[in-house]
Structure 1
Amino acid sequence: MSDLMTVQNAAGPVAEIRLNRPAKKNAVTLELLADLVAACEALADEPGLRAVVLSGEGGDFSAGIDLSVLMSLAGDLEGVKAEMLAMEPGQPNRFQAPAKALMDLPVPVIAAIEGVCFGAGMQLALACDFRIAAPGAKLSIMEGKWGLIPDMGISLSLPRLMAPDRAKALIMTARVLSGEEALAEGLVTRVEGDPHGAAIAFAEELAARSPDAVRASKALVDQLWGQAGDGLRLEAELQAALMGAPNQMETVMAQMQKRAPVYK
């Protein structure tokens, strides 16, 4: 595992996962995402684990995918699309795997959100069981800004949190919400002045409960609300069709050149 992410107190009862690229507002790379999957898989086997807190170093949760990653993927767009679509039914591709890994942890996962929480970072936060945000945090399902859709596991999380009309509005507009606005939309669980401290306190409260009952409670709600496994395939198919298409490229160029896009 690299130093792009840290895991503290892995044996529990409360473990912490921290995204560790503060100079880049914890923008995620493919290596960081792979590290997150590995960390979740390792934590799932810890018998003393009772809860996990996910946060970012340096006052930001995550600015989303690092632009350098997007530029590198653009060099082999057809290969990226083929990889995205090479998935077993109900199973994630490598871009969706981190969110799925967070959801698959058998214990509660609490996201502590400060600063920015955009794009891929937002999808990681949504994959957690609870989200505690600072009032001044900035949250956005931001992929629409680049002519794309969210495709990193949002089909597993957002349908359980929002009515479809509200979800469509946020996905289509890429609107940036404050912590308070995100609470009103149902995207976060609570707003606290110290989200990390509040997340730790909540995790410790859960850790004091019967671990069997807490794990069963998570499993019960997840199964009752359902996890749309087929949605992972839909995410990949829709995104692959958008990537590199004329209007998506025009969206990117307009953003870079700070002008209004001209669509066909």
Structure 2
Amino acid sequence: MKDRVSLSINDGIADVRLIRSDKMNALDEQMFDAIIEVGEQLRNDKSVRVVVLSGEGKAFCAGLDMGNFAAAADPDASTDKGVPTTLETRTHGIANKPQYAAWVWRELPMPVIAVLHGVALGGGFQLALGADMRYAAPGTRMSIMEIKWGLVPDMAGTQIMRHLARDDVIRELTYTGRMFDVDEALQFGFVTRVEADPLAAAMETAVYIATRNPDAIRADKKLLDDANYLDREQGLMLESVIQDQIIGSPNQIEAVMAELEGRAANFK
């Protein structure tokens, strides 16, 4: 993991960075493993209140490493080479390994902010989609690039994109694989904010989130995630069930008292 992804945790904020900068943070098997390892570590860390995911070097992530394409085209490929005999095999709950590298951020109980710069292409774009929010630098370029290689997007992108952008936009970008810039991405709904220094902006947001009731923040994420896949009756009931769990809890009372007394909250 140490030569692919770095992790530091300070004041409830997990700073996760892709550090394969010499390859523009391209996704090889070791990168997939490292991303998942970090995600699973954070999932069980109750001290973490928000995650910031970024990439070092010239780009966030240039997509799948070319070596993986060669392995996938090998008729004798096997799990020993890091390529499963079939992607239909579920290796991580509802997902396979490449899917889970993006989906694990959706399964984390705390918010995740992705910081984009340079390029986010193919699998790198889908990796960013796994975050709750995406802050991007001016000039960032993106692409649903899989059609270039005769493939379909298969890292959970189809399940996440449909909640962010219009169906016809997703289809046009998927069918053509064309590059689109950060201004289009903002218009489409794939980018949350365009910032001259997106990492600094993401950290500022993370600091604010980390000062809020962590029980409510985690409940917010569950509610918003589940609402995407529930009908309206189930969604309304989920709101009520979660709110009943939070109202009157120690951290909720502390949030009220801190606001009334004009002081920083001391959440547990």
TM-score, normalised by the number of residues in structure 1: 0.81
The AA in structure 1 aligned to 2:8 is: Q
Deviations along 1:143-170, whole A, 9 cap, x unmatched? 1111111001113311110121111011
Count of equivalent residues:
226
State the identity %: 39
**Equivalent position of 1:23 in the other structure:** 22
| Post-superposition offset of 1:89 | 11
1:163 aligns with 2:166: yes
Which range moved further: 86-95 or 110-119?
86-95
**Equivalent position of 2:7 in the other structure:** 7
Distance of 1:209 and 1:215 partners within structure 2: 10
Which range moved further: 71-80 or 57-66?
71-80
**Equivalent position of 2:32 in the other structure:** 33
1:146 aligns with 2:145: no
Distance of 1:38 and 1:89 partners within structure 2: 12
| Post-superposition offset of 1:205 | 1.1
Q: Does the aligned pair in 2 maintain the 1:109–1:130 contact within 8 Å?
A: yes
Distance of 2:4 and 2:49 partners within structure 1: 24
Runs of 4+ with >6 A deviation: none
Name the larger-Rg structure.
2
Distance of 2:69 and 2:40 partners within structure 1: 26
Which range moved further: 113-122 or 152-161?
152-161
| Post-superposition offset of 1:200 | 0.8
1:60 aligns with 2:63: no
The AA in structure 1 aligned to 2:4 is: L
Q: Could you say if the C-alpha distance between residues 76 and 135 of structure 1 is closer, same or farther in structure 2, counting changes exceeding 3 Å?
A: same
Deviations along 1:45-66, whole A, 9 cap, x unmatched? 1111110011100131000011
Q: Does the aligned pair in 2 maintain the 1:127–1:156 contact within 8 Å?
A: no
| Post-superposition offset of 1:121 | 0.5
Q: Could you say if the C-alpha distance between residues 209 and 145 of structure 1 is closer, same or farther in structure 2, counting changes exceeding 3 Å?
A: same
1:174 aligns with 2:177: yes
For structure 2, the 5+ residue unaligned runs are 231-268
Distance of 2:90 and 2:197 partners within structure 1: 40
**What secondary structure sits across from 1:83 in the alignment?**
coil
Deviations along 1:128-185, whole A, 9 cap, x unmatched? 0000011210111111111111001113311110121111011111121111110011
| Post-superposition offset of 1:81 | 6.5
Q: Could you say if the C-alpha distance between residues 52 and 172 of structure 1 is closer, same or farther in structure 2, counting changes exceeding 3 Å?
A: same
Q: Does the aligned pair in 1 maintain the 2:71–2:77 contact within 8 Å?
A: no
Q: Could you say if the C-alpha distance between residues 205 and 34 of structure 1 is closer, same or farther in structure 2, counting changes exceeding 3 Å?
A: same
Q: Could you say if the C-alpha distance between residues 12 and 36 of structure 1 is closer, same or farther in structure 2, counting changes exceeding 3 Å?
A: farther
**Equivalent position of 2:112 in the other structure:** 109
**Equivalent position of 1:234 in the other structure:** none
Q: Does the aligned pair in 2 maintain the 1:7–1:15 contact within 8 Å?
A: yes
**Equivalent position of 2:68 in the other structure:** 69
Q: Does the aligned pair in 2 maintain the 1:83–1:93 contact within 8 Å?
A: no
Q: Which has the higher contact order (CA 8 A, sep 6+)?
A: 1
Distance of 2:189 and 2:199 partners within structure 1: 19
> Within 5 A, what are the aligned runs for 1:1-264?
1-9=1-9, 12-76=11-75, 79=78, 80=83, 82-87=85-90, 91-226=94-229
The AA in structure 2 aligned to 1:40 is: G
Deviations along 1:86-143, whole A, 9 cap, x unmatched? 2289710111111121110100000000101101100000010000011210111111
| Post-superposition offset of 1:16 | 1.1
